[in-house]
Amino acid sequence: MKARQFFISTLKEAPADADIVSQQLMIRAGMIKKLAAGVYTYMPMGLRVIRKIENIVREEMVRSGAVELLMPIVQPAELWVESGRWEKYGPELLRFKDRHQRDFVIQPTSEEVITDIARQEITSWRQLPVNLFQIQTKFRDERRPRFGVMRGREFIMKDGYSFDRDADAAGKSYETMFDAYCRIFNRTGLVFRPVAADTGSIGGNRSNEFQVIADTGEDLIAYCPDSQYAANIELAEAVQVGGERAAATEEMQKVPTPGRDKCELVTELLGLPLTKSVKSVVLASDERDEEGNVLPAKIVLILLRGDHSLNEVKAGKLPELKNGFRFATEAEILKAFGSKPGYLGPVGLDPKEVKIYADRSVINMSDFVVGANEEGFHLRGVNFGRDLPEPEVADLRNVVEGDPSPDGKGTLKLQRGIEVGHVFYLGTKYSEAMHATYLDEEGKSRVLEMGCYGIGISRVAGAAIEQNHDDRGMIWPDAIAPFTVAICPMGYKRSEAVQKVCDELHDKLAAEGIDVILDDRDLRPGPMFADWELIGVPHRIVVGDRGLKNGEIEYANRRTLDQKEMVKVEDAVAFIK
Ligand code: ATP
Ligand code: MG
Ligand code: MG
Ligand code: MG
């Protein structure tokens, strides 16, 4: 590539509203151009970086067995209503109407559309596992778009989704993706760390973020240098936001709370071991005496955490209950909730739904049971984190360096990170809600197990700069540099010898598949060097008459600009390779 033919537009000063070094440098180097808050054009120089990151991601995804597709940016609201996220997503979801007043969204992520595809395309166990991914524009109407492409509103994400026959197989898909992510971030040349992450409302313990280590990162990571332990402190914040959960956990430490009493009572009464997988237990009754009073509960609705499904309930995998209690049947759930069990999901109920449920008096709680009849309290029955200590989340809220690591293998250190990737075991959250099922070997219908896997392609570019820059500009790792080599001629128009050597070197390097740019703009050395230092091309070759007298060119690495090396012209290609 010749510079005159390419599009280079560098600036001396960064705009005043650029608040982080990567954003300042990307704008100054002409890599991105702001159009609106959190909305940027990738200019030719920036797009080259984006494409390189994409290619690494694509290669490793394909290597791991995933298959690429491309889903629409514009998605009909119906699917989002079906999954429940039309209600739940909030203002980050950009919604609009078409000319027929039909609702649409711009995808912030694509679980709904991929699940819709899966329920149509995947019918038999023979087709599984399936792992599909796309590299596509996303839109999230972030509350505070900032840091350039690192927290944009429009950004590019690789999002992948796996479909498996059961939780075990889904676990394997998760591991495969985890490994692929390690390869991807190794190849980008960035220093990163996989950390345990919050699983939000989905539950379970399989969620890992990939964090690029940088002091400007928005996330705080606690890790133990002596073990594998590493977690996003957001984890602790999630507990805090849950407020109720955190407060109750503290309460639990002091005296036996009503919650704990009731828990013990339930255990005893039902003979039901409250394991980690039990999210919530509701004792219910739909029987009344002649006067219309609700009789003591004899039905148990049991809601399981994400890695178990209603199918297990249906398959009778739950234990026998004592004292004449039994689990609710599908028909009873349908009657109580007015929707199919599939919609109920294994994840838990919205307090709203429980209220409707109580209002209708379809179900009520008697004196001695855990129940939804106490306003603001046991709305959802027994919950871990509230009635029992949260078993999976270490409380890192007030952690300081030197605190013992939750795994007991040393002490914790803290560092800042940028979340560039996220792998997440979804279980049946979407497949239950949207009825994505397949037939197993016995012809029985089963709900698909899912995982989702994201990488912020455009954020990786920003994170790379945060981690690699100096006061002259960016310093790209070779693998994601816009160009790997810049040839800087001293007098391209003036000296035939210089021009000839530069042209030949350019062609030879290009023939070797090396991304080379020859600066034929005829600039003075100062501004020419300043441009390539700002743009951060990792290798620079200077060709001038003085060196050519000895048959030599000058090489410098962007990281060590003052250690220049003279290299014989004929050795230059081998030297660079
Ligand atoms: P964050 O915590 O930074 O808001 P997230 O957890 O909401 O990110 P995910 O839903 O996990 O993001 O999306 C997958 C990946 O997409 C993230 O790991 C991140 O790299 C990238 N990403 C998310 N939001 C943005 C954004 N506003 N701009 C650029 N990249 C983003
Ligand atoms: Mg976010
Ligand atoms: Mg996050
Ligand atoms: Mg995330």
Predicted confidence (pLDDT) per residue in 372-388, tens digit: 323 323 323 334 444 44
Task: For residue 30, report the phi and psi dihedrals to the nearest 5 degrees.
Answer: 70, 30
What is the per-residue pLDDT for 421?
A: 97
By alpha-carbon position, which residue is closest to atom 19 of ligand 1?
Answer: 456
Residue-wise pLDDT for 70-127, tens only, equals 999 999 999 999 999 999 888 999 999 999 999 999 999 999 999 999 999 999 999 9
Closest ligand to C-alpha of residue 138 is 1
What is the per-residue pLDDT for 390?
A: 42
Residue-wise pLDDT for 336-348, tens only, equals 544 433 322 222 3
Q: What is the pTM of this model?
A: 0.75
- Model confidence at 202, pLDDT cuts 50, 70, 90, reads low
> Is the Cβ atom of 138 under 6 angstroms away from ligand 1?
no
Give helix 330-337 / helix 351-359 axis angle, nearest 10°.
Answer: 90
Q: Is the pLDDT of residue 239 over 70?
A: no
By alpha-carbon position, which residue is closest to atom 26 of ligand 1?
Answer: 151
CA pair distance 172, 570, nearest whole angstrom: 51
Looking at ligand 1, which atom is closest to the CA of residue 142?
27
| pLDDT (mean) for 409-427 | 92
What is the per-residue pLDDT for 85?
A: 93
Task: State the DSSP string of 419-439.
Answer: EEEEEEEEETHHHHHTT-EEE
Q: Is the pLDDT of residue 235 over 60?
A: no
Ligand 1 pocket test: pick from 50, 206, 459 the residue with the most ligand atoms within 8 Å of its Cβ: 459
CA pair distance 207, 391, nearest whole angstrom: 15
What is the per-residue pLDDT for 389?
A: 42
Tell me, what amino acid is at 472?
Answer: R
Identify which has the larger pLDDT, 203 or 479: 479
Looking at ligand 1, which atom is closest to the CA of residue 108?
10
Q: Is the pLDDT of residue 236 over 70?
A: no
> Is the Cβ atom of 125 under 6 angstroms away from ligand 1?
no
- Model confidence at 330, pLDDT cuts 50, 70, 90, reads low
Residue-wise pLDDT for 219-231, tens only, equals 889 888 888 788 8
Residue 263: C-alpha distances to residues 116, 257, 379, 429 (Å): 39, 10, 14, 26
Mean pLDDT score across all residues of the chain = 80
Task: State the DSSP string of 452-521.
Answer: EEEEEHHHHHHHHHHHSEETTEE---GGG-S-SEEEEESSTTT-HHHHHHHHHHHHHHHHTT--EEE--S
Asked if 567 and 487 touch (Cβ cutoff 8 Å), the reply is no
Tokens linked to 152: 């944009």
The answer for residues whose C-beta is within 8 angstroms of residue 234's C-beta and 6 or more apart is 197, 198, 219, 220
Ligand 1 pocket test: pick from 419, 425, 426, 452 the residue with the most ligand atoms within 8 Å of its Cβ: 419
